[in-house]
Structure 1
Amino acid sequence: MINRFSRRRFLQSSTMVAGSGILSSSLVPGRGVLANDKLNIGVIGAGGKGTADSEGVMSENIVALCDVDERALRARQGRFPKAKLFKDYRVMLEQVGDQLDAVTVSTPDHHHFPASMLAMNLGLHVYVQKPLAHTVWEAREMLKLSREKKVITQMGNQGHSYSSTRKLVEVVQSGIIGEVREVHVWTDRPIWPQGMSRPQGSKPVPDYLDWDLWLGPAPKRPYHDGYHPFKWRGFWDFGTGALGDMGCHNMDAAFWALKLGAPTSVEADVSGVSDDTAPKWSVIRYEFPGREDLPPVSLTWYDGGKKPSADIIGEKTLPNNGSLIVGSKATIAFREWNPNGFRVLSEGREVPYADPDPIFPRVGDNPYKEWIEACKGSPLCLSNFEYSVPLTEMVLLGNVALRAGSKIEWDAKALKAKGNPELDQLIRSTPRKGWRV
């Protein structure tokens, strides 16, 4: 490992070399890490998904661990005994930010934006769990800053790194299934409470938890075990519901293959939505315009036990999570979380086809390896913010529509629901005092 002094000396000399037009390709933007150097990584969010994310980057130097729950922090400390421990990522970045090259962000959704923005402002590369942000505006701001700071970015929708997903995209884009105008995507989530009011009353804050830090930018709420751990996902203050949790996974393949971008309109049918929580179930329809030589597309999302008809592919049942990309020649049935991939079907039978030439690199189904190598100068990871921010914005617009209770017409450039200024508060929220970045 290059020490901080040597790394900075190298950066200074590299800047001078760059002026003569011979900057080495082994130096990447952001902090500037050599291909053979180990990254110094700070882990923001050590429990839950943070456990998997820290394991995923353990080939590098884990310099700092941060979590508001001491149980999670101590559990990870046993795995990374040399790491410095923090409860507040603001303090962590202030005290050891100059020792870091990158961070992982594996917090509840409402912390993704401030943690990532603070890190990128320091020139740190970021690996951020899905959805990237809590609101559409936050996602757009994250993209702007990543461009300004020229850092390497990756969203944690790991299926984007699967060889099967990349092959699916190549099959669709090669024209094997014909023209696509219809897509269906579904999930078995929520597997946590939704469709109710906030917990009443309060409970004593456990001695292992810093509740005020857990709340962070969210509104002040009394502690209740109905929020932490895990159940926060259904509450608008902290999470983004079943759609936010799974949309960036399950809609990824279709969004990528069809180059969908921003929808023109979104509307939803729901049950049990409230000012406090996401609904018990939802069916959300996104309309996308034509793109280049591609036709308009209708994409329907289902959660809470809702699914499209299995008749679309001539079968009796559908898996718990999946998508159907309906083409004029054949339909792709994609079962999420299945590295073995997808089927190409017509009239209930599998259609033989010749594999198209690969377009995208195969990375061994490993998003962490892809991100780490990109931080060291390899080609960019493919779920970087240029891709994953538009995907996140599209997903989160579904939540705006289901909370609006009516169809919204979307102006992507202005970040506005046309004729609905009252929805601005859902597109951009106001952080609690002390958490504005």
Structure 2
Amino acid sequence: MQAARPTRRTALKTSVAFGGYLIAPEVSAAESTSANEQLNIACIGIGGRGAANVNGVKSQNLVALCDVDQQRAGKVFEQHNQAEKFADYRKMFDKLEKQIDAVVVSTPDHTHFHPSMAAMERGKHLYCEKPMAHSVWEVRQMTKMAVKQDVATQLGCQRHALANMHRSVELIQAGAIGDVSEVYSWVGGSRGMPSIPKTFPKVPETVDWDLWLGPAMPRPYDSTYCPYGWRFWWDFGTGETGNWGCHILDIPFWALGLKYPSRVEGSGPEVDDQRTPKQMATKMHFAEQGVDLHWDHASAGPAKLKELGIDGKGMNTLFIGSKGMLLTGFNKLRLLPEEKFADFKAPQPTIPKSPGFYKEWITACKGGEPATCDFRYSGPLAETVLLGNAAYRAGGSFDWDGPSLTASGNDAVQPFLKSEYRKGWEVAEV
């Protein structure tokens, strides 16, 4: 299952014309040449989002399922009783390393890195949930390991396969709104800052709490951390920015060919050492493209929308160009001002229709072309998302040298670039 993967992508082009709103037809993708060959897949983390990922790859041979919470994972265990069951992924690899071709990791953010690296070190292909890892350093190590081992990878940015995403990217790349100088992306809501537990119940018999903590520093069990609230605690999660940033910033990253920002700024409410905020704002400058990328976690969206008199409901990204603006989301878009683009003719679609986000990865594992969110692309995207969190937590801004993974101008950011591990979980640099 370690065949080389060609990089050529083919497409059938069609022509479309449109006014303000549109979702144009997709372009057909080339068929896989190994469609009938099954992979032996192991899934680590199968409750919650993990259950959806198991479902996404169930067309293949599921040889192992692994989860530290036997109750939360129980339904998936029952549905796929042909697979061997594990709580500890290390024991899974010890027993089944030779049988496993590929691995899906869907654990909490703080435990993405270790099983992912263990899989790739063994030459296993990897599908990993966003935001890929818990720190910028971890993301870079995973990206380097994937290249070193020449394994097929895919980051869980499932919306990358949506038709509207494709059309948005094509419009920007065709110059429909001219040269883009600013982009505003956002997620609504006010999730964050959960209550700090004062009493600690007994760990449920169905949960291996020590394994759930993994590399994180020890603390007593509480249901505010497990099974889901972990997302809003810095020791385990990355907040709403980590939750949604890879999905939403995927749009400008793809459209503008972004990679590493040269400067990162963060602001918001007073920083809490333990908990992620209910709102925050970051600004990333990409010197190579001359673009400022703004990210807001704010219930009403960025202030720029109000300033321009734009209703951003159902949208998440605003591109500002020299000839107009593109307001877009996952499922719809508008060119602004609408009267200017009333008779606009769309460029020919050039992005092929995805055969399915999971199928892209499965095909790549079997020797096909790389998946669209291969780590070479999605690694820098995930790093940028986590850099935004680092800037907020550092209380300001810093200059960033992406190739060398170096921050300067703000020493306070250093602790937030690399995760700290408890004894026994240390990992050497790739």
Give secondary structure in 1 for the equivalent of 2:268. strand
**AA of the residue aligned to 1:48:** G
Instruction: Please give the alpha-carbon distance, in whole angstroms, between the structure 2 residues aligned to 1:288 and 1:198.
Output: 38
Instruction: Please give the alpha-carbon distance, in whole angstroms, between the structure 1 residues aligned to 2:171 and 2:393.
Output: 36
Among residues 321, 325, 329, which one is paired with 1:327 in the alignment? 321
Give secondary structure in 1 for the equivalent of 2:360. helix
Give secondary structure in 2 for the equivalent of 1:226. coil
Q: Counterpart in 2 of 1:4?
A: none
CA pair 85-352 structure 1, distance change in 2 beyond 3 A: farther
Instruction: Please give the alpha-carbon distance, in whole angstroms, between the structure 1 residues aligned to 2:143 and 2:62.
Output: 26
Among residues 348, 355, 358, which one is paired with 1:357 in the alignment? 348
- 1:54-73 aligned at under 5 Å gives the runs 54-73=54-73
Give secondary structure in 2 for the equivalent of 1:71. coil
Q: Counterpart in 1 of 2:305?
A: 310
The number of equivalent residue pairs is 400
Instruction: Please give the alpha-carbon distance, in whole angstroms, between the structure 1 residues aligned to 2:227 and 2:340.
Output: 44
Instruction: Please give the alpha-carbon distance, in whole angstroms, between the structure 1 residues aligned to 2:298 and 2:68.
Output: 30
- 1:20-59 aligned at under 5 Å gives the runs 35-59=35-59
Q: Counterpart in 2 of 1:202?
A: 200
List gaps (5 residues or longer) in structure 2: 7-32
**AA of the residue aligned to 2:313:** P
CA drift of 1:304 comes to 3.6
Q: Counterpart in 2 of 1:211?
A: 209
- 1:18-417 aligned at under 5 Å gives the runs 35-191=35-191, 194-195=192-193, 198-291=196-289, 296-308=290-302, 309-311=304-306, 314-315=309-310, 317-319=311-313, 322-336=316-330, 338=331, 341-346=332-337, 351-364=342-355, 366-417=356-407
Instruction: Please give the alpha-carbon distance, in whole angstroms, between the structure 2 residues aligned to 1:198 and 1:363.
Output: 43
Contact in 2 for aligned 1:187/1:304 (Cα 8 Å):
yes
List gaps (5 residues or longer) in structure 1: 1-6, 15-22, 26-32
Percent of aligned pairs sharing the same letter: 42
Contact in 2 for aligned 1:135/1:428 (Cα 8 Å):
yes
Moved more, 418-427 or 219-228: 418-427
**AA of the residue aligned to 1:276:** Q
Instruction: Please give the alpha-carbon distance, in whole angstroms, between the structure 2 residues aligned to 1:312 and 1:335.
Output: 19
Deviations 1:138-195 (A, max 9, x none): 011011110111000000011112222122111111111111001111112454xx23
Q: Counterpart in 2 of 1:3?
A: none
**AA of the residue aligned to 2:273:** D
Give secondary structure in 2 for the equivalent of 1:300. strand
RMSD of aligned residue pairs (Cα, Å) = 2.2
CA drift of 1:348 comes to 6.8
Instruction: Please give the alpha-carbon distance, in whole angstroms, between the structure 2 residues aligned to 1:218 and 1:248.
Output: 23
CA pair 86-189 structure 1, distance change in 2 beyond 3 A: farther
Instruction: Please give the alpha-carbon distance, in whole angstroms, between the structure 1 residues aligned to 2:392 and 2:256.
Output: 24
Task: Tell me the TM-score normalised to structure 2 length.
Answer: 0.88
Contact in 2 for aligned 1:106/1:128 (Cα 8 Å):
yes
**AA of the residue aligned to 1:67:** D
Instruction: Please give the alpha-carbon distance, in whole angstroms, between the structure 2 residues aligned to 1:320 and 1:178.
Output: 24
**AA of the residue aligned to 1:176:** A
CA pair 129-48 structure 1, distance change in 2 beyond 3 A: same
CA drift of 1:81 comes to 1.3
**AA of the residue aligned to 2:143:** L
Contact in 1 for aligned 2:194/2:232 (Cα 8 Å):
no
CA drift of 1:321 comes to 5.1
Structure number with the bigger relative contact order (C-alpha 8 A, sep ≥ 6) is 2
Instruction: Please give the alpha-carbon distance, in whole angstroms, between the structure 2 residues aligned to 1:125 and 1:157.
Output: 17
Instruction: Please give the alpha-carbon distance, in whole angstroms, between the structure 2 residues aligned to 1:77 and 1:425.
Output: 39
CA drift of 1:389 comes to 0.4
Contact in 2 for aligned 1:197/1:277 (Cα 8 Å):
no
Give secondary structure in 2 for the equivalent of 1:225. coil
CA drift of 1:416 comes to 2.1
CA drift of 1:119 comes to 0.3
Deviations 1:310-334 (A, max 9, x none): 356643x322651111112121111
Task: Tell me the TM-score normalised to structure 1 length.
Answer: 0.86
**AA of the residue aligned to 1:405:** G
**AA of the residue aligned to 2:275:** T
Contact in 1 for aligned 2:165/2:329 (Cα 8 Å):
no
Instruction: Please give the alpha-carbon distance, in whole angstroms, between the structure 1 residues aligned to 2:379 and 2:52.
Output: 22
CA pair 69-163 structure 1, distance change in 2 beyond 3 A: same
**AA of the residue aligned to 1:90:** R
